[in-house]
Structure 1
Amino acid sequence: MTFALPGFDIDKFIRDTLAEDLGEGIEGGGRDVTSESVIPADARFSGVMDSREGVVIAGLPLAEAFFRHLDAQVSIETLVSDGDAVAAGSDLMKLEGNARALLTAERSALNIVQHLSGIATMARDYVAAMRVGSEECTLLDTRKTLPGLRVLEKYATRMGGAQNHRMGLWDAAMIKDNHVAVAGSVGEAVRRALEAGVKPIICEVDRLDQIEPALEAGAHHLLLDNMAPETLREAVRMVDGRAATEASGGINLETIASKAASGVDYCSVGRLTQSAPAADIGLDFTPL
């Protein structure tokens, strides 16, 4: 199994997650007391992970890594791939191995697949709703991610058909109202970022009269914040292709089509990672 994402150490993630569940470093911790006391050391299980609802799958390589970390000899057959849309009742993975190891890894494996698949599924739903308004508009995620899970959550949005916005504070400037307040104006804030050699420069504007100063100062991308569809249309007309345009704020499944229809290049949605419900995915074992 190969699963590599820039900036993500899968081995450390697996170790740290299991260590948290096992209570490593805590007095009396470091073991699964239930499995050790109830399950014979040489007992074996077979299991099937399945989806109880229609979802987009994300995280199966991570689930496999959890099981392999505790049972190097486990037999795993992955039946679908990350990014696949599956129907309710679909089998996702079959496995066979040491019963204690599989039970100890079960919760961590399910947690990550449920969480990431929930994000991927919500992204898919938003893309579908957005397409009603525009076939050209692209869905973006945001930095509203759980601490420590950003790389994985942004991976999940891609599995659902979204595109990643900036990954963090380092790979693009995003000038927002508080930056403008200190700099004195939109134009001055953009000018300072440009003089510092930062690229790209994303500038938030919440009024039409801020557009021209931002563009004249050198902004590459305008985040059009909390604008109604008709205002977005006027903003796109004013920009006239001189910078990328992004609708942000007040976007949900009911409003995204009208926002996208305004002609913006992007719609960004924080709830993809902030509020996506976990997918209903389970794992049932049978003693061998």
Structure 2
Amino acid sequence: MFIREIESFIEEDLGYDDVSCTIVPDRPAEAIIFTKEDCTVAGIDEAISIFYYFGVQAETDFEDGDQLKKGDIIFRLRGGAVSILRAERISLNFLGHLSGIATLTKKCTDIVRKHSETTRVACTRKTTPGIRKFEKLAVAAGGGDTHRFNLSDAVMIKDNHVKLMGIEAAVKAAKKTSFTRKIEVEVESAQDALLAAGLGADIIMLDNMQPEAVKETLKILEKKGLRNSVIVEASGGISLENLEAYSKTGVDVISMGSLIHKSSWIDISLEMIDIGET
């Protein structure tokens, strides 16, 4: 985490007149951070960066992706009481939010692994502005794929691109940009999947297709000798409820915006355990 990022989070949380923390005697103190529920933890490095900024010593036996049980102590903290209090909410927000993403991602990857050893579970760019990289790293902690971090990582030709210029013109234009970027084309039919694959797209996204339609499209690509030349991704409307059906289709990637925007925060708390003398 960059210093400028930490300071922007501090500015948001402390404001210009932090009375609630400064009325506390700034004496040496110890505290623990613990989880109130089972989870896949994430946000360890982010929390450490915040504690370090405030001069708080943070010790942990865990790293992102570890499985925690209710009551597990994530951090033991030593530092000034005021510094611990000022770091508390920012660090807990990151730990709770990112652990929620990692926990949901782990649940989804476990479902997929029962039916496929190779299918990736990926997130999307449906992220919270300003903290995308942290949310995507939480997906990785849960065993998922980060997909694109931003528009520069790959060329994504979506439905609105196709409406504006058509698949063929869009793919040809994308090929002229750079040989280093993969080209992904979003399609809604087997016919368009064949067209995009024939034009040399690297990835075909089957958008809002039901599992049976995904299977049928894969069969058609196989029949035309194009299946092995493209990565096929299923996306749109995929949730915990229908994930198992998609995991049985043979698709290469299942992308789910819900990994981030429908994850639930994990209940994580900080408790003072020893207050020293001033």
Q: CA shift at 1:32, angstroms? A: 2.2
Q: CA–CA distance in 2 between the matches of 1:172 and 1:129? A: 28
Provide structure 1 residue ranges, at least 5 long, that are not aligned to the other structure.
Answer: 1-8, 24-28
| Match among 25, 46, 69 for residue 62 of structure 1 | 46
| Match among 205, 209, 221 for residue 187 of structure 2 | 205
Q: Which residue of 1 aligns with 2:228?
A: 241
Q: CA–CA distance in 1 between the matches of 2:9 and 2:176? A: 43
Cα deviation 1:31-73 (Å, max 9, x = unaligned): 4201212x113x2221110111111111122212222222x2x
Contact map agreement 1:157 1:272 (CA 8 A) in 2: yes
Aligned residues: 269
Contact map agreement 2:51 2:57 (CA 8 A) in 1: no
Q: Which residue of 2 aligns with 1:36?
A: 22
Q: CA shift at 1:238, angstroms? A: 2.2
Q: CA shift at 1:10, angstroms? A: 2.2
Cα deviation 1:110-133 (Å, max 9, x = unaligned): 011111111111110110112233
Contact map agreement 1:141 1:164 (CA 8 A) in 2: yes
Q: CA shift at 1:237, angstroms? A: 1.8
Instruction: Say whether 1:141 aligns with 2:118.
Output: no
State how 1:214-229 maps to structure 2 within 5 Å. Answer: 214-229=196-211
SS of 1:161's equivalent in the other structure is coil
Q: CA–CA distance in 1 between the matches of 2:52 and 2:183? A: 43
Q: Which residue of 1 aligns with 2:133?
A: 151
State how 1:35-114 maps to structure 2 within 5 Å. Answer: 35-37=21-23, 39-41=24-26, 43-70=27-54, 72=55, 74-114=56-96
* Amino acid aligned to 2:25: P
Cα deviation 1:66-120 (Å, max 9, x = unaligned): 22222x2x33211211110111111111012111111111001101111111111
* Amino acid aligned to 1:192: A
Q: Which residue of 2 aligns with 1:194?
A: 175
- TM-score, normalising length: structure 2: 0.93
Q: CA–CA distance in 2 between the matches of 1:270 and 1:66? A: 28
Q: CA shift at 1:190, angstroms? A: 1.3
Q: Which residue of 2 aligns with 1:118?
A: 100
SS of 2:186's equivalent in the other structure is strand
SS of 1:182's equivalent in the other structure is helix
Contact map agreement 2:30 2:77 (CA 8 A) in 1: yes
Q: CA shift at 1:187, angstroms? A: 2.1
- TM-score, normalising length: structure 1: 0.89
Q: CA–CA distance in 2 between the matches of 1:117 and 1:270? A: 16
- RMSD across aligned positions (CA): 1.4
Q: CA–CA distance in 1 between the matches of 2:57 and 2:238? A: 44
Contact map agreement 1:47 1:96 (CA 8 A) in 2: yes
* Amino acid aligned to 1:261: K
Instruction: Say whether 1:164 aligns with 2:146.
Output: yes
Q: Which residue of 2 aligns with 1:18?
A: 10
Q: CA shift at 1:138, angstroms? A: 0.7
Q: CA shift at 1:195, angstroms? A: 2.7
Identical-pair percentage: 36
Contact map agreement 1:32 1:104 (CA 8 A) in 2: no
Contact map agreement 1:57 1:82 (CA 8 A) in 2: yes
Q: CA shift at 1:225, angstroms? A: 0.8
Instruction: Say whether 1:256 aligns with 2:243.
Output: yes
Q: Which residue of 2 aligns with 1:231?
A: 213
Mean Cα deviation higher: 187-196 or 164-173: 187-196
